[in-house]
Chains A and B, each alone.
Chain A
Amino acid sequence: MHEGAIVHSLLESAKEIRIKEKLKEITEIKIVVGRFHQIIKEVMLTNFEYMKTEYNGFENAVLNMTEEDVKVKCNYCGHEFSIDEPIFMCPQCDSFETELITGKELYIATMEGTK
């Protein structure tokens, strides 16, 4: 259940951004989450619906979460591939000399609100 703590951090950051950008009512927050975090979208959205009511200006905000696939690069043969299982072996040359390129993202991309 790390989703609750992540939504809390998200709203704390968004609260400051709302003030800095002089936005009144926040209508949408777009976030990007890499699949490696094993964050469950439905749980994020449910937590957000409950927790946003404690933040001024977020009562009508919608959370829009985009998930990023886990992509890996083989440093031995250069092959780039997506994985569904956490196995960091190159399917082309069987090397484990690999590194994660995407899949660990966890950031706020944009926020939309009324001026």
Chain B
Amino acid sequence: MDKKEVKVMQKILNMNDKIAEELREELSKKNILFINLMSSPGSGKTTIMERTAHEFGTKMCVIEGDIQTTLDAERVAKAGIQTYQINTGPFGGDCHLESGWIKSAMEEIEMADLEIIFVENIGNLVCPAEFDVGAHVNAVVLSVTEGEDKPLKYPLAFQNSQLCIISKTDLLPYLDIDINVIKENIKKVNPKMEVIELSAKSGEGFQSWFDFLKRS
């Protein structure tokens, strides 16, 4: 039987990337900043969103990505802002969000008054980094309790992001963790990465985060 080899040279994630690019363009036209927050489970993303909601109010919206439950969306909604929950499925559900999920969410969101949309990606430092969701800024949240070595262990998340938020800094006095080592490791993986240190408990460092959002 005759065989034929065809040259393809096509990105495997090209469908995801195409939708992501369309989303980015559409949101840019509407002057809405879209930020993708990635981290391990329990790094403090939702608490950061709660405090951020007190600053930006109804100008912001949060898309919550979880395998199961609407707990995070319920928490953030209490701050009086728009939220949208994506559940990827309890049994064998996806461990990351793809741009198709985000596109569906965007169709449900009322955008008229919005200036910022956040997506809290699924708590996982590996898979989410692989998939462009159409954000203008990818940010990694790394809590000080996770240890100094995480940037080296999960380099793609740190390489594919422009900002790292080091969270839970109020716990530093109780830990054998040197925040300078965390920052050195971030620099090793992504020398251009911007770093903001904050504590959602005390509020320390939040002004830098708000300033970042206002100038982005």
Nearest chain B CB to A89's CB is how many angstroms away?
A: 6
A2, A89, A114: the one within 8 Å of B130 (CB): A2
Smallest Cβ-Cβ distance to A2: which chain B residue = B127
B3 near A86: Cβ-Cβ < 8 Å:
no
The answer to whether B12 touches A107, judged by C-beta atoms less than 8 angstroms apart, is: yes
Q: Are A13 and B15 in contact (CB under 8 A)?
A: yes
Instruction: Count residues on chain B whose CB falls below 8 Å from chain A CBs.
Output: 35
Q: Does A109 contact B (CB under 8 A)?
A: yes
B96 touches A5 (CB 8 A): yes
A23 contacts chain B at the CB level, 8 A cutoff: yes
Whether the pair A38, B156 counts as a contact (CB closer than 8 A) is: yes
CB <8 Å contact, A109 and B8: yes
For the complex formed, measure the closest distance between the CB of B129 and the CB atoms of chain A, giving whole angstroms.
Answer: 9
Query: Could you write out 22 A-B pairs with CB less than 8 Å apart?
Result: A2-B95, A9-B13, A9-B15, A9-B16, A13-B14, A23-B4, A23-B6, A37-B156, A86-B188, A87-B188, A88-B189, A96-B187, A106-B13, A107-B8, A107-B10, A107-B12, A108-B9, A108-B10, A108-B12, A109-B9, A112-B6, A114-B2
Residue B215 at the chain A interface, CB threshold 8 Å: no
* A4 to B188 CA separation, bound complex (whole angstroms): 30
Q: Is A102 an interface residue (CB 8 A)?
A: no
Instruction: Tell me if B7 is interfacial: C-beta within 8 Å of chain A.
Output: yes
Q: Which residues of A contact B15 (CB under 8 A)?
A: 9, 12-13
- Separation in Å of the A90 CB from the closest CB of chain B? 10
For residue A62, CB closer than 8 A to chain B, the reply is no
A interface SS class: mixed
A: which residues have CB within 8 A of B? 1-2, 5-6, 9-10, 12-13, 17, 21, 23, 25, 27, 31, 36-38, 85-89, 96-98, 100, 106-115
Residues of A within 8 A of B8 (CB): 17, 107-111
Determine the distance from Cα of A15 to Cα of B131 in the docked complex, in whole angstroms: 21
* Bound Cα distance from A12 to B100, whole angstroms: 14
Q: At the interface, yes or no: B155 with Cβ under 8 Å from chain A? A: yes
Closest-by-CB residue of B relative to A21 is B6
B167 on interface, CB distance cutoff 8 Å: no
Tell whether B214 is near chain A: CB-to-CB under 8 Å: no
Given that A21-B6, A111-B8 are known contacts, is A37 also in contact with B127, CB under 8 Å in the complex? no
